Amino acid sequence: MTNLLSTSNNPLIRPFAEFFRTESASGLILLGSSVTALLLANIDVGIGRYFPAIWDSTLSLSVNDFRLEKTVAHWINDGLMALFFLVVGLEIKREVLEGELSSIQQAALPLVSAVGGMVVPALLFLLTNWQTPTHSGWGIPMATDIAFALAILYLLGDRVPLSLKIFLTALAIADDLGAVMVIALFYTHDIHLDYLAWAGGIWVLLLILNHLGVRILTIYLLFGLVLWYVTLKSGVHATIAGVLLAITIPFRIRYTQQELMRFLHHRMTVIREAIQVNDVQPRDITEELEDINEHISSPAQRLEAQLHGPVSFVIIPLFAFCNTSLLIDVGLINQLLSPLPLGIMIGLFIGKPLGISLLAWLAVRLGFASLPAGVRWLQLIGVACLAGIGFTMSIFVTLLAFAEQPASQGIAKLAILIASLLSGVLGYVLLAKTLPQKNSRDRLTEALEEQT
């Protein structure tokens, strides 16, 4: 008999398994793009000689008197990354409404752990950078890169309990929520109230459309594009528009469970009868199934499914390719023990696992939460170490914190890379040592179950 908890057969687990595989593969591509960018930036032959300057070239968008001109790096960081934040917002919304953050009991451990994983690194950074010009970088070591972290879990294979994967995913999503709030509240400067009022008005309009039951995704995306532009002009970072748009897009499906079952039964009956009576082509069946999916899924579900692949496999690797184009020389390495990089490395490598593990232990000890099923403390600490892989979001906060200080950006990025590498290695070693080894009988049993 097939195991009920098998991710390949259980329809309740399958969406999470697909998410896990997508993020894991994305992490490996992210690693490849980062290494390639570092190599190209540090060779003085061929394309490498001109490579870093590519990101400073300008691209403009103009329609009649309207003109928007930015560097390639800005188009990536302010434009394409808005799509990344849109997906982040959709993921947070899904988890809060129906996922691992939808109830106090489910959300307690990852939420409390995420708070510890944000507060402790920020405090350690501030202690290291107290009364220095770089103290504004306290938000850098607060973030977790879910793609890299899940990629390392993926390398450990089926030895990792599903509950541990879910815990890390929920932790990272709660962490992303915290990072979005930090960016919106603390890394916003030079506010233009007129554009901010326009952004607020458009957002309220989108909320009203949601309340009225408007489910045409194109309408939300067109208003979302305008929301992105006025947010960009307001002084609030434009990527926040992605999260604001995600909040307004309808998530609930229009059917109750009984209505959904009746609808599916009716449509499948129509398909079966058509197959029996007519010479139906496979393409006709797939088109009918796509139409069914259009009716039973929500706009938020469809948009997340459509964007998740491009964001994971194109936009995030491109962001890494652009922002890890870092020239590493002796002078940069000599700065690694200065307050800024030291605070980042201590925050990510020590603060993250310390904060997550300490708050998780307190929550369990005080009875607010319980450990995930089948997970031991050393395994949770191993996952807490993986949360020290800041990378994407940490680099993003670096660009905001030191927008006018390229030298600080460079050393901060190098510190992020070093701390993320150390955190990944330590997390992998801890998990490899503490996770149960699968014997040949277990692997044979799983293979037979998959066949049946």
Q: Tens digit of pLDDT for each residue in 78-97?
A: 889 899 889 888 888 888 88
In a domain, 315, yes or no: yes
- In the predicted structure, residue 317 carries a pLDDT above the cut 60: yes
Q: Would you call 100 exposed, middle or buried from its count of C-beta atoms within 10 A (0-12, 13-18, 19+)?
A: buried
Cα-based distances in Å from 164 to 158, 169, 211, 298, 352: 11, 9, 36, 29, 17
Taking the C-alpha atoms of residue 166 and residue 262, their distance in angstroms, rounded to an integer, is 32
Cα maximum dimension of the chain? 80
- Dihedral sign, CA of 57, 39, 78, 417? negative
Angle at 389 between CA 383 and CA 395, to 5 degrees: 155
Asked if 127 contacts 280 with a C-beta cutoff of 8 angstroms, the reply is: no
In a domain, 78, yes or no: no
- Out of 219-228, 330-339, 419-428, which region has the weakest mean confidence (pLDDT)? 330-339
- Out of 18-27, 233-242, 325-334, 381-390, which region has the weakest mean confidence (pLDDT)? 18-27
Quote the pTM value.
0.77
- Out of 123-127, 258-262, 349-353, 440-444, which region has the weakest mean confidence (pLDDT)? 440-444
In a domain, 86, yes or no: no
- Out of 166-170, 186-190, 350-354, 405-409, which region has the weakest mean confidence (pLDDT)? 186-190
Angle at 98 between CA 96 and CA 104, to 5 degrees: 55
How high is the pLDDT of residue 8?
44
Q: What is the pLDDT of residues 115-159, one digit of tens each?
A: 999 999 999 999 999 999 999 999 999 988 877 888 888 788 778
In a domain, 79, yes or no: no
Give which of 431, 423, 356, 435 is closest to 390, Cα–Cα: 423
In a domain, 146, yes or no: yes
- In the predicted structure, residue 238 carries a pLDDT above the cut 70: yes
Taking the C-alpha atoms of residue 36 and residue 42, their distance in angstroms, rounded to an integer, is 10
In a domain, 11, yes or no: no
Taking the C-alpha atoms of residue 314 and residue 305, their distance in angstroms, rounded to an integer, is 15
Cα-based distances in Å from 288 to 232, 272, 294, 378: 41, 12, 10, 49
The answer for residues whose C-beta is within 8 angstroms of residue 355's C-beta and 6 or more apart is: 115, 116, 117, 118, 119, 120, 121
How high is the pLDDT of residue 20?
58
Helix (H) or strand (E) holding 58: strand 58-63
More confident residue, 16 or 434: 434
In a domain, 411, yes or no: yes
In a domain, 261, yes or no: no
Asked if 423 contacts 352 with a C-beta cutoff of 8 angstroms, the reply is: yes
Helix (H) or strand (E) holding 68: strand 66-71
- Out of 154-163, 208-217, 365-374, which region has the weakest mean confidence (pLDDT)? 154-163
CATH of the domain at 328: 1.20.1530.10
Domain range for residue 143?
A: 23-72+104-188+311-451
Taking the C-alpha atoms of residue 431 and residue 433, their distance in angstroms, rounded to an integer, is 5
Q: Compute, in degrees rounded to 10, the torsion defined by CA atoms 333, 337, 343, 344.
A: 20
Q: How many domains does the chain have?
A: 1
Q: What is the pLDDT of residues 436-449, one digit of tens each?
A: 875 444 444 444 44
More confident residue, 405 or 3: 405
User: What would the mean pLDDT of 228-237 be, rounded to a whole number?
Assistant: 87
More confident residue, 31 or 231: 231
How is residue 222 written in tokens? Answer: 């067109």
- In the predicted structure, residue 270 carries a pLDDT above the cut 80: no
In the block, tokens 């800024």 appear at 340
Residue type present at position 9: N
Report the Cα–Cα distance between both ends of the chain, in Å, rounded. Answer: 7
What pLDDT band is residue 53 in, cutting at 50, 70 and 90? confident
Asked if 135 contacts 129 with a C-beta cutoff of 8 angstroms, the reply is: yes
User: What would the mean pLDDT of 393-402 be, rounded to a whole number?
Assistant: 90
User: What would the mean pLDDT of 9-34 be, rounded to a whole number?
Assistant: 66
User: What would the mean pLDDT of 360-388 be, rounded to a whole number?
Assistant: 91
> In the 8-state DSSP scheme, what is residue 438?
P
Q: Would you call 103 exposed, middle or buried from its count of C-beta atoms within 10 A (0-12, 13-18, 19+)?
A: exposed
How is residue 115 written in tokens? Answer: 């708070």
Residue type present at position 35: V
Asked if 4 contacts 10 with a C-beta cutoff of 8 angstroms, the reply is: yes
How is residue 426 written in tokens? Answer: 């330590």
Taking the C-alpha atoms of residue 202 and residue 221, their distance in angstroms, rounded to an integer, is 12
